[in-house]
Chains A and B, each alone.
Chain A
Amino acid sequence: MKMLFEFLKRFYKGNPAAVFGSLIVASMILLSAGAGFIAENEPNKRVARGHQPPSAELLLGSTRAGKDVFSQVLHGGQTSLLVAFSAALITTVIAVCVGVSAGYFGGRVDELLMALTNVVLVFPQLPLLIILAAFVGQVGPLMIALIIGLSSWAWGARVIRSQTLAIRNKEFVLAAEVMGESRLRIIFVEILPNLTSIVFGGAMGTCIYALMAEAGLEFLGLGDPTIITWGTMLFWAQSNSAFIVGAWWDIVIPGLAIAIFGGGLALLNMSIDQIANPKLRTGSYLNRWRALKLEADKKRGLA
């Protein structure tokens, strides 16, 4: 427990990106989870005339069908975030399995898995998603999560594989092998823990991608328009020409929701990069260091 606390402290100190990122992600998750309590209106109920602007009763206005945008964005968040997380989970699991196996076992297994990975990698994701989505017919959010999960693991697998390769030949792993530890144990106890940061980073990247892909698919009308998610909100807003008729809130709000959450995740992602590679860190301390260096140089007659 104390280790966790220490770790968190190190993570957040002097890392504003991490702080902001975490705050945003956490608050959005909380807001969506608590949608039932926070929003007083049912998301699917007609509570006002169509396209009413934001007001005291309707914080974020109403959609064309007269439904509460605030309530919809919160409830929709539940589904959208769930899809994003599930897709990220599926992708990560597959990527880890494939990447670690390829990196650790090497040889034929590696060749085979890498061939598969490379082929999946070069397929352009969104067109593939579009065709798959249309193939399945009317795709509900769950199906979208599945499809995204099954098609986006390749990049992560590749990265994990190269990292596994690097670790695999380190002494502690060789030592464990010599000592006769079972392969499975080696993988889970020696190798995996060292992959956490890239796995985590990859998962977050996939999360962002899944969120955008889901919104994109539903925007194009390939999703189930009767289920409320941020993507279907965009779809309905566009079908009702939200911008042109002046009901900007109908389309901007779900867009902002995606942007804010995606941005938060991206910030978190960036900060994780910085932990893994401290050279990438940035902050005001650098200016201080520079000032000091300038002073020192002056004294030495170099500047």
Chain B
Amino acid sequence: MGFILRRLFFYLVAIFVAITFNFLIPRLMPGDPIDALFASAQGRMPLETLAAYKEMLGFVDGPLWDQYLTYLGSILTWDLGPTIMLYPLPVSELLAAKMPWTLGLAGMSTLISVVIGLLVGTYAAYHLGGFTDRFVPGFWAFLGAMPQPVLALFVFFLFALRWQWFPLSYGANPDLDPGWSSEYVSSIIHHAVLPLGCMIFGGIGAWIFNMRNAMINVLGEDYITMAKAKGLSNRRVMTHYAARNALLPVVTAVSMQVGFVMAGAIFIETVFNYPGLGLLLFKALAARDYPTMQACFFMIVVFVLVFNFVADLLNLWLDPRLRK
């Protein structure tokens, strides 16, 4: 229990730091959001209207401290105000629309990567010195080092544009009504194949390698030898003894990775026009849309922290040593 409380406290502190950081950085950034809005309007907005907008969006506000307290309050009540680039759409609405897509993408890709990594890594560890073990991690070191954007662009060009096997944009077919109908769900899957593929492809080398190492370490432990000596079948040793213990470092690694995965999504989402948080963050940045940017970044941090916390809980469940 103490463990959980300590971790919770730590995460709260981290969130607070995130809020403060979030608040300060955009304020210190050069650039006036209104002028950037003008840029995105490509000169179609008359100059006179600009001044009026400036006033309306409150960019002549009071001292920094007041703004900070207001910001803190708004986070707690989740009233984040309107976006600038899509004025007057509220930020929370925009976030709520984009969040599930990024969660889905990040979550699914992590899940699939972990599973494949676990299987291949275990196989490699088990057949130490075999072909898989010798060449697959090494080979994938190069594939994994190929920059995400290049990979995404290549996949986009070949599979979506040229061969038209998969769609070019969107999370689902725009002609379909969003809902849980089988048509819509299969459209979601169809649209997710390429983005997911890119995300998995890039990161899986590291997973395979990590799993393999974790497995090897575990297989060398005494209790494995003991289990085998007791006469337990290989399969039982694998699942109940080896895998369970190998999962520990894996879970830790996963929680570390989440931040990365969220980030990698940015490139993928940009190329495939996938409606997630990464793309939103990037576009909000270009538009100097402070409210949206802050909220986006905050959302990503919260996810990372939540995943970390879940990993901690899993750790607790898997590792009795922590329970005392």
Contact = CB atoms under 8 A, between A and B. Distances in A.
Determine direct contact between A and B, CB below 8 Å. Answer: yes
Nearest to A253: B150
A234 interface: yes
Contacts, number: 165
A212 interface: yes
Contacts of B285: 130-131, 134
A47 B161 CA distance: 31
Given A263-B145, A280-B216, A286 B150 contact: no
Overall SS of chain B's interface: helix
A180 to B, nearest CB: 37
Nearest to A288: B129
B204 interface: no
Contacts of B134: 282-284
Interface stretch (B23-31, B55-63, B243-251): B23-31
Nearest to B133: A282
A284 B13 CA distance: 51
Interface centre among A259, A282, A284 (most CB of B within 10 A): A282
Nearest to B137: A270
A107 interface: no
B30 to A, nearest CB: 5
Interface residues of A, number: 57
A282 B263 contact: no
B146 A255 contact: yes
A155 B28 CA distance: 28
A125 interface: yes
A255 B147 contact: yes
Interface in A202-231: 208, 212, 215-216, 219-220
Contact of A219 (B14, B128, B147, B154): B147
Interface stretch (B40-48, B65-73, B112-120, B296-304): B296-304
Contact of B141 (A131, A137, A263): A263
A238 B14 contact: no
Interface string A79-98: 00000000000000000000
Interface in B130-171: 130, 133-134, 137-138, 141-151, 153-154, 156-157, 161
Contacts of A115: 10, 13
B268 to A, nearest CB: 12
Nearest to B255: A122
B225 interface: no
Contacts of B28: 135
Given A212-B145, A255-B146, A270 B209 contact: yes
B213 A122 contact: no
A192 interface: no
A125 B260 CA distance: 7
B281 A216 contact: no
Contact of B301 (A118, A123, A220, A277): A123
Interface string A262-274: 1101110010010
Nearest to A212: B147
Contacts of B305: 122
Contacts of B13: 115, 119
Nearest to A263: B142
B147 A216 contact: yes
Interface centre among B153, B267, B304 (most CB of A within 10 A): B153
A302 to B, nearest CB: 13
B6 to A, nearest CB: 11
Contact of A287 (B25, B130, B149, B156): B130
A290 interface: yes
B41 to A, nearest CB: 19
A137 B153 contact: no
B304 A118 contact: no
A53 B30 CA distance: 41
Given A208-B145, A279-B220, A280-B213, A243 B14 contact: no
A259 B146 contact: yes
Contacts of A119: 13-14, 17
Contacts of B267: 216, 219-220
Interface string B1-27: 000000000110110011000000110
Given A155-B256, A255-B150, A118 B143 contact: no
B142 A259 contact: yes
A285 B134 CA distance: 11
B145 A216 contact: no
A258 B145 contact: yes
Nearest to B308: A122
Given A124-B301, A234-B149, A290-B129, A130 B143 contact: no
Given A130-B266, A234-B149, A251-B150, 16 more contacts: A122-B11, A122-B305, A124-B260, A124-B301, A125-B263, A126-B262, A135-B28, A220-B266, A243-B156, A259-B147, A262-B145, A265-B145, A266-B144, A267-B138, A279-B216, A287-B130
Interface of A: 17, 20, 115, 118-119, 122-128, 130-132, 134-135, 137, 155, 208, 212, 215-216, 219-220, 234, 238, 242-244, 251-252, 254-256, 258-263, 265-267, 270, 273, 277, 279-280, 282-287, 289-290
The 5 A-B pairs at the shortest CB distance, nearest first, are namely A286-B129, A262-B145, A126-B263, A263-B142, A255-B150
Interface of B: 10-11, 13-14, 17-18, 25-26, 28-30, 128-130, 133-134, 137-138, 141-151, 153-154, 156-157, 161, 205, 209, 212-213, 216-217, 220, 256, 258-260, 262-264, 266-267, 270, 278, 281-282, 285, 293, 296-297, 300-301, 304-305, 308
17 contacts: A20-B138, A122-B304, A123-B259, A124-B263, A130-B266, A130-B282, A131-B25, A137-B29, A208-B145, A219-B147, A234-B147, A238-B149, A251-B150, A255-B146, A260-B142, A279-B220, A280-B212
